[in-house]
Structure 1
Amino acid sequence: MKIIPVIDLLGGQVVHAVKGQRALYQPLKSTLCSGCEPVAVANALLRHTRSETLYIADLDALTENKPQTQLIHTLRTELPGVELWLDSGYPPSVKACPGLRPVIGSESLDSDTWKRLQSSPVKSWILSLDFFNGAPKGYAGVQAQAEGWPDHVIVMSLDNVGSFNGPDWLQLENMLTRKPPHCSIIAAGGVRHHADISRLSQMGISAVLAASALHAGIELAAL
């Protein structure tokens, strides 16, 4: 079980994501660092978790189709040796390359784009199955076509993000039963404390995306 820290980028700064209500996100306040400058926040999270992976949500790209290309380039330059998982919508604003892997969320997909992804000979991207209030966002057919999933699949419960209400246990159990053998499932949204980490690990979850609990000073240890 790995802890993968998350930064949400909006207008060039890191914001605090809460329950998927993106229009209400405010600049980050953290116990780990001062300010909301992306490189400083990223370094603080990576030091705290000892992670070699950082998840980035480019909210400008996701909400306004205005990818923060220069900022992503800066993060790649300033974080050598760290693999960046970048969610910037579909098509990704940056192609897969050493040190960077696109995350493609179901909220950005329809049946045609999913078919195009399936025709790719190499699945170097990461799939995020996005849910809000228990319902799938975007193309729901992705869930029924698990044979086309890549090696890493995130179960993203957006309304649980930053809520401290705990992970969406039922949704995670459901996706674990559907996944093909080659897939690992990654939990995202609602993790509160180490007991959640232990339970997720026992379920067979390979990693968890975390931000709010880390910034609140809660210790989350990899297992």
Structure 2
Amino acid sequence: MKIIPAIDLMDGQVVRLVQGKPENKTVYSNNPQEIAKKWEKQGADMLHVVDLDATLQLGTNLKLIEQITKEISIPIQIAGGLRDESVIATALDFADRIVLGTLAFKEKNIVIKLGEKFGQERLVISADHVDGNVVINGWTSEAGISLLDAIRDYSKNKFQEFLITNVSRDGMLQGPDLQNLVVACAQNVNVIASGGISKPSDISDVKKCNAYGVILGKALYEGKITIEEAKKLA
């Protein structure tokens, strides 16, 4: 199982939000490159870099993310606000993978075409959800499709990479949503679990669900778990 630290960017800073709300922001660093190199050195398998400004339509950190990719050697997947084909093409020039959420559920045909052009393995479908119902637009509205149907629908179109976040668990340190994770992982696709990791035993629980990877966010930044601990359990 892959151990994947998150680097959430807002105004060029490394931050964490609680349940995706900008008013609940904690700043952890003014030097994202330094943080990226730190997680790489500690053994991270990949980095999950989120452009929160793009997600909330407040701006972009894409140039900064490109700079980060030049300073590390492990893979990077970019998430947040990737809703325009030209921006996606630019991101794929330097990122290994990109994560598509809102676009995946508003413009499915575009995403299928992007998969054919760039390779489905480079596009991760982000099925953020509340109680098993997918949400989009920075978690502000429902997509009208269930988590399970979303995975089945995209897997029929050769997509195998999925990122699953239970919004209500994000940044809450209350433990992962194992119930929905088990269902997702049973669909014979690669599932990255996100949200709720609070202690080392949570990593073991996620592994038992047969997840492909797990994202470490607030628990890592708050010192409740280390990458080394997570790697041993993964």
TM score, norm. by length of structure 1: 0.84
In 2, the alpha carbon distance for the partners of 1:144 and 1:69 equals 31
Q: Tell me which moved more, 88-97 or 11-20.
A: 88-97
Correspondence for 1:55: 48
- In the alignment, structure 1 segments of 5+ residues that lack a partner are 29-34
The structure where strand makes up a greater share of residues is 2
% identical aligned pairs: 23
**In the alignment, is residue 209 of structure 1 matched against residue 203 of structure 2?**
no
Residue of structure 1 in register with 2:178 after alignment: 169
What is the deviation of 1:203?
1.5
Quickly say closer, same or farther: Cα 1:118–1:186, change in 2 above 3 A: same
Structure-2 residue corresponding to 1:148:
157
Partner of 1:12: 12
1:92-137 per-residue CA deviation (whole Å, 9 max, x = no partner) reads 63342464311112x34444x1122123422121111111355320
Say whether the 8 Å CA contact 1:87–1:102 is kept in structure 2.
yes
User: 1:128 maps to which residue?
Assistant: 126
Give 3-state SS (helix, strand or coil) of 1:156's partner.
strand
Pick aligned residue for 1:189 from 187, 195, 199: 195
Mapped contact 1:86–1:103 kept (Cα < 8 A): yes
Greater helix content? 2
1:189-217 Cα shifts (integer Å, max 9, x gaps): 00112211111111211210002111222
CA contact (8 A) 2:166 2:195 kept: yes
Aligned match of 1:86 in 63, 66, 78?
78
Q: Which residue of 2 aligns with 1:31?
A: none
Alpha-carbon deviation of 1:77? 1.6
The alignment partner of 1:148 has SS state of coil
Within the candidate set 148, 159, 166, 2:168 is matched to 159
From 59, 68, 88, give the equivalent of 1:66.
Answer: 59
One-letter code aligned to 1:56: V
C-alpha displacement of 1:40: 1.4
Partners in 1 of 2:103 and 2:165 — Cα distance? Answer: 13
Q: Secondary structure at the match of 2:92?
A: coil
Cα shift at 1:151: 2.4
Deviations for 1:168-190, whole angstroms, at most 9, x for unmatched residues?
A: 1111122123x2x3x21110000
Counterpart AA for 1:86: I
CA deviation string 1:50-79 (max 9, x = no partner): 013110010111111622222112112222
Aligned residue for 2:156, secondary structure, equals helix
Alignment: residue pair count:
210
Residue matched to 1:39: 33
**Partners of 2:151 and 2:162 within 8 A in 1:** no
Measure how far apart 1:20 and its partner are.
1.9
Larger RCO (CA within 8 A; separation ≥ 6): 1
Q: For 2:167 and 2:128, how far apart are their aligned partners in 1?
A: 7
TM-score by length of 2: 0.80
The runs of at least 4 aligned residues of structure 1 exceeding 6 Å deviation read none
